[in-house]
Structure 1
Amino acid sequence: MIPDLGDALLDRLRDAFRTARYDTDGVLDLLGPSAHAALGRGEPEPARRASVAGGALGTLVRLFLIGSAEPRAAVQEAMRVLDVDDALAAGLLVHDGEALRAGLDIRPHGADEHSWWVISDLDSLQRPSGESLTPEHVLGVGHASLSLVRATSRRSVGSVLDLGTGCGVQALHASTHADRITATDVSDRALALADATFRLNEIAAETVEGDWFTPVTGRRFDLVVCNPPFVVGPPRTDFTYRDSGLAGDDASALVVREAPSYLVEGGRAQLLASWLHREGEDWRDRVAGWLPGNVDAWFVQRDVADPELYVGTWLRDAGYDLHSDAGARKAAEWLDWFRDNRVEGVGFGFVTLRRIDAGSPQVVCEDLRHAFDDPLGAESDGWLQRAEWLRDHATPEDLLGARLTTAATTVLEQVSEPTPDGWSPTVHRLHRTDGPGWRHEVDDLGARLIAGCQGALPLGDLVELLATAHGVAPDPMATEAEPVIRELVRHGMLLPAEWSER
C-alpha cells in the first residue's frame, strides 16, 4: 500500500519538526558528536540514552531514527497539531501493541546551510525482528547516494533530470543550484515518497513515472543525475532500488549510452555505475565502448570487488541469512552466473559525461582507488574545463605555444640515495595536495621544466632554454615532454596562465 501523505498532513508534520528542532543541527546538538556517529554506524544505544531527556525532539529521534516503539501520548505531544490517528491512517505511524512505531523512515539530511527531511521505507534495523524488505522497498540516503552527491557538480543550471529518483535525495541537492527539477522512477511507491519529500520540504519538482528515459522522451536537460539500479548479476529484479532486470552491467551501459541524447549541447550527466572485469578484457575498453560519439567522458573507478565478496555483501544488504536455504540458493545462482560469464571482479565508480556537438571527444578512464577526502563534484568541473582546453590545444604546436603555470597545490617530492658525494635524488614525484591527490613521477629535466612553468614564457621557449643549458636537442625533448605535460594539465597540476589572469 502506498502511504497517503496529503498536503495538509505534511504541513502539520513540518510544523511539528520545526518546533521540535528535528533537523540536522537539532539532532546533532541533542545527541552530541559521539552518539550521533554511533547512530550512523548502526549502533543505536548511545543515541537512545542521549535522547531520554530530549522532550519532543528525543521522542522523534527514537521514533524515526532508532525505530523504537513510543507511548501514544508522547508521540501525540511531539506531533503537536498532527493527530496521531491521521498519521496512522496515512501510514506514517503503525501500532505496536499499545505503543506506536514509525511506519516510514523520515530523517533530517543536510548540506552546507540546507537541511531537509527525507522520506523512505524503514531499513532492516528499524523493522520488527523477522520482517524482511519488500521488492518495492524505497531505500533512504545510503552511502552510494551520498557518494554521488559529493561527486556531482553544483554549478548553476536551468534544468535537472533526476533519473530513477528513489527517495529523491539527488533532486533535493539539485534544488540548491537548478531552476527546474524533473524526477522519474519506474516504482510508483518510490515516486510517491519522493513527491512527499519534495512537498514536505516545499520544493517544486515535476515527478513522472516510467522506465528509464521513456517519461522524458524528446526532452533535453542541462544536467542528468542518476543513481541507477547498478547491481550486476543475473537478469532479475529482487528489489527495485538495486536490480534493473538487465543482465550484468547492462543497466550502467544503458544510462551511459542514452544520457547524452537527453542533454543540451554542453550539458552534463553525472552518475554512479558498475562494470564487469572479465577474463581477457580491459575494463577501460569495456566502458569506453558504451559511449556514443558526441561526448566527453571521465570514468573514475573507486573500487573493485571480487565475486565472492560482492555476492555476500549484497545478499546481506537485502537481509538474507547466508546460512539459510534461501541465502545459499541465491548465492549459488549469482556465483554460477559470474563463473559462466568469466567475471573476475566488479568495478564501481563515477561517470561524468558532457555532450559536445563538434570537436574530438576526450575520453579518460582512471583508477582512483586510493583514499582521498575532497569531493569529486568540483573536480569534475575542473576536469571538463581542462579537457576542453586540451581539445583546443590538440597539436604539438598549440601546446608549445601555451603559457602554463604550476598549480599552487602541486608539490615536488624527492627520494634520494646516499653517494660518496652526499644524497643523490633518484625519484622525482609530483604530488597534487588537493582533489584526488594525483601523483606523477618525472625525471630531473622534467622537474626542472615544470619548475619553469610560471606563466611568463611559452612552453616551447622553456624547452629550448632547458635543452640548451643541458646540451641536448630541443625537438626530442619537446616530443618526450608533450604527453607528460598533457597529463599534468588534465590532472590540474599545470594550468593555463590565462586562467589566473582573468
Structure 2
Amino acid sequence: MAELLGPAARAALDRGETTPARRAVRHAGVAGTLVRLFLLGDAVPRTEVAAALDPVDVDEAAGAGLLDVDGDLVTAALDLRPHGDAAIPTAPPWWVLSDLEVAPQGRTADREHVLGTGAASLSLARATVRRPVATLLDVGTGCGVQGLHCSGHAGRLTATDVSERALDMARVTFALSGVDAEVLAGPWLEPVAGRRFDQIVSNPPFVPGPPQVDHVYRDAGLGGDGASALLVGALPAHLAEGGVAQLLASWLITSEDWTERPRTWLDEAARSVAPGGLDAWVVQRDVADPALHVGTWLRDAGVDPASPEGTALSERWLDFLAAEGVQAVGFGFVTLRRTAPDVPGTVVCEDLRQSHDDPLGPEIEAWLDRTAWLAQHPGEALLDARLRVPDTVALERGLIGTDEGWDPVAATLVRLDGPQWRHDVDELGVALLAGCRGYLPLRDLVELLAVAHGRDPEELAAAALPVVRDLVHHGMLVPA
C-alpha cells in the first residue's frame, strides 16, 4: 500500500486530504479498489468490490458488519487495513480493524469510536523498548495495534480496555494477525489487580479537557490531566522488579516550570514501590496553547471549531482550562522502571521538541542502560570510571570576528544521531572531554587538568561530576 500510494499521497492522507491518494490508485486494479473502499471511504461499484474481495462474498461481508450495501454501490462500514513493523521482519501479515477515520468534513466520531493506526499510536510503537520479556500488559488497547507491535518480543500478552467495542475489534485484529493475547474488560488497571508484568505499554485517553466523556478513545472523564496522573502514579506498582512501563501522557502547564505536575505524579509513584526505587524519564515532545489544544482535538473528532457545535464546545473547554489556570498543555512520553530495593531511582524531565527521524525506542533502551550504569557509580565513584566520547559526537565552535581575526565565544557538544542532544561546554570542559578516550580514569584527567590550569582538584571534580553525569545520560560520554 505504501509503495502504491507514494510518500506525497501518504502525507496528504495524514492531513485528511484524500484526492492525491485517489489519483494515485486510479488505475491500480484490485489494490486500488481496496484503498478506495477502506482508506478513502469511497462508494465503489459492487462488481469491483466483489472482484477485490473474492472469495469473500459481498453480502457475507455486509452481514458481518464490514460493508454497507446500497443498491449497486458498496461502502466500508469499518476500517480494515494491512499493517507492519520493519523491526519484526519475521512477523506474519498483520490486519488492523477499527472504525473509519473521521475526515475534517466528515461525520463526528461516535462516543465509542475506536481509533486505528493513528499518529499517536505509531509514535508510541516507535518509542517502545523491544527487549524480550516474559509478560507484557497493554492498558487501553483500543484496536490492539500496540499489542501487535509488542507481539514480537513478549512471551505472554495481556490487553485491557474499558470499551467492549474496542475489545471486540482488538480480538479480531489479534485473530487475523495470528497473535495470541489475553483480552480483559474493565477500567484502568482493575482487570489485572494484584498482578505484575515485565513491561507495560499504554496509549490512554490522555487528552486534558472537562470532566466528561464525549469520546472514549480521548476522554477519561477525570478532568484535566487526571488520566496521565492516575497511570503514572499506579503503573509502577504493577511492574515486576526491573520492569519497564511506557505511556503517552499530557500535563497541564500552570507555571513557568512545566515539570511541576509530572514530578508530583512521580513522587506518588515512587512511594507506591518503596522500599524499591523508580527510574523515570519524562520527555516533552510538544506544547500547545489552550486555543490550539482545543481546536486540534475538536477537529480530531470531526467537529469544525467554527460551527455552532464547535463554538459551544470550544467555549466549554476553554472555560475549564482557564479555571484551572492553564497556560499551555504539554504532551510526550513517560518511561518508568521499577528498580531493586537497594538501587536509588533517577528522575529526569526534559524537552525533546527538536525534530528527529530516528525511532525513540533504541534511545530509551540506551537511556535505561546508562541510568543503571550511573546508579552503580554514585557520587565520587564516577571519578574512577574510564569514559570515552563516541564517534557520533562532535564539537561545534562559535567564533566572532575581531580586528585580529576570529575569537572563540562558545563551544557546543552535539550528538549526530538519535535525538541530536546539544550541550554547551566551557574551555575546561572541552579540555576534559579531549582526554576522555577510555585510557585514564576520570579522576586522573581532572587532576591533570587542575595542574595545567592552576585549579583545586577537588573543586574541579565537584564542578565536573554533574556535567559528566548529564553527558552520560545523553550518550555523549559512554563507559570505555
- Of residues 33-42 and 400-409 in structure 1, the stretch that sits farther from structure 2 once superposed is 33-42
1:244 aligned partner? 220
Structure 1's consecutive aligned runs of 4 or more residues displaced over 4 angstroms after TM superposition are: none
2:44 aligned partner? 70
1:487 aligned partner? 470
* 2-structure distance, mates of 1:131, 1:40: 17
* 1-structure distance, mates of 2:157, 2:460: 51
CA displacement 1:309-348 (0-9 Å, x = unmatched): 1111111111223233322211111111111111111010
2:431 aligned partner? 448
- Residue 364 of structure 1 pairs with residue 340 of structure 2: no
- Of residues 102-111 and 418-427 in structure 1, the stretch that sits farther from structure 2 once superposed is 418-427
1:140 aligned partner? 116
- Residue 272 of structure 1 pairs with residue 236 of structure 2: no
Could you say what secondary structure the match of 1:271 adopts?
strand
Q: Retained in 1: the 8 A contact 2:239–2:338?
A: yes
Could you say what secondary structure the match of 2:212 adopts?
coil
Deviation of residue 420 (structure 1)? 4.8
Q: Retained in 2: the 8 A contact 1:302–1:348?
A: yes
- Change in Cα spacing, 1:254 to 1:423, as seen in structure 2 (3 Å) is same
Alignment of 1:19-98 (within 5 A): 27-98=1-72
- Change in Cα spacing, 1:42 to 1:333, as seen in structure 2 (3 Å) is closer
CA displacement 1:37-74 (0-9 Å, x = unmatched): 43343332232233233222221111111111111122
- Residue 390 of structure 1 pairs with residue 374 of structure 2: yes
- Residue 290 of structure 1 pairs with residue 247 of structure 2: no
Q: CA RMSD in A?
A: 1.6
* 2-structure distance, mates of 1:339, 1:97: 51
- Of residues 152-161 and 106-115 in structure 1, the stretch that sits farther from structure 2 once superposed is 106-115
Partner of residue 288 from structure 2, selected from 280, 295, 305: 305
* 2-structure distance, mates of 1:32, 1:373: 18
**Percent of aligned pairs sharing the same letter:** 57
Partner of residue 190 from structure 1, selected from 166, 179, 196: 166
* 2-structure distance, mates of 1:192, 1:254: 25
Q: Retained in 1: the 8 A contact 2:139–2:188?
A: yes
* 2-structure distance, mates of 1:302, 1:36: 23
2:358 counterpart letter in structure 1 = D
Q: Retained in 2: the 8 A contact 1:69–1:96?
A: no
2:230 aligned partner? 254
CA displacement 1:253-310 (0-9 Å, x = unmatched): 111111111111000001000001014x633132111122231100001111111111
- Change in Cα spacing, 1:484 to 1:340, as seen in structure 2 (3 Å) is same
TM-score (normalised: structure 1): 0.90
Alignment of 1:456-475 (within 5 A): 456-475=439-458
2:54 counterpart letter in structure 1 = R
Partner of residue 157 from structure 1, selected from 115, 133, 154: 133
Partner of residue 119 from structure 1, selected from 97, 101, 106: 97
1:380 aligned partner? 364
1:110 aligned partner? 84
* 2-structure distance, mates of 1:256, 1:421: 57
- Of residues 320-329 and 438-447 in structure 1, the stretch that sits farther from structure 2 once superposed is 320-329
* 2-structure distance, mates of 1:362, 1:309: 33
Q: Retained in 1: the 8 A contact 2:107–2:302?
A: no
Alignment of 1:410-421 (within 5 A): 410-421=393-404
Could you say what secondary structure the match of 1:382 adopts?
helix
CA displacement 1:356-401 (0-9 Å, x = unmatched): 13221100100111222222111111111111111111121x0111
2:49 counterpart letter in structure 1 = V
1:386 counterpart letter in structure 2 = R
* 2-structure distance, mates of 1:31, 1:479: 57
- Structure 1: unaligned runs, 5 residues or longer: 1-26, 498-502
Could you say what secondary structure the match of 2:433 adopts?
helix
* 2-structure distance, mates of 1:36, 1:442: 42
1:19 aligned partner? none
Could you say what secondary structure the match of 1:149 adopts?
helix
- Change in Cα spacing, 1:465 to 1:219, as seen in structure 2 (3 Å) is same
- Residue 177 of structure 1 pairs with residue 153 of structure 2: yes
1:24 aligned partner? none
Q: Retained in 2: the 8 A contact 1:409–1:434?
A: yes
CA displacement 1:119-143 (0-9 Å, x = unmatched): 10012239xx763321000011111
CA displacement 1:378-430 (0-9 Å, x = unmatched): 1111111111111111121x011111111111110011223454322121110
1:403 counterpart letter in structure 2 = R
Q: Retained in 1: the 8 A contact 2:106–2:302?
A: no
Partner of residue 423 from structure 1, selected from 397, 406, 414: 406
* 2-structure distance, mates of 1:28, 1:303: 27
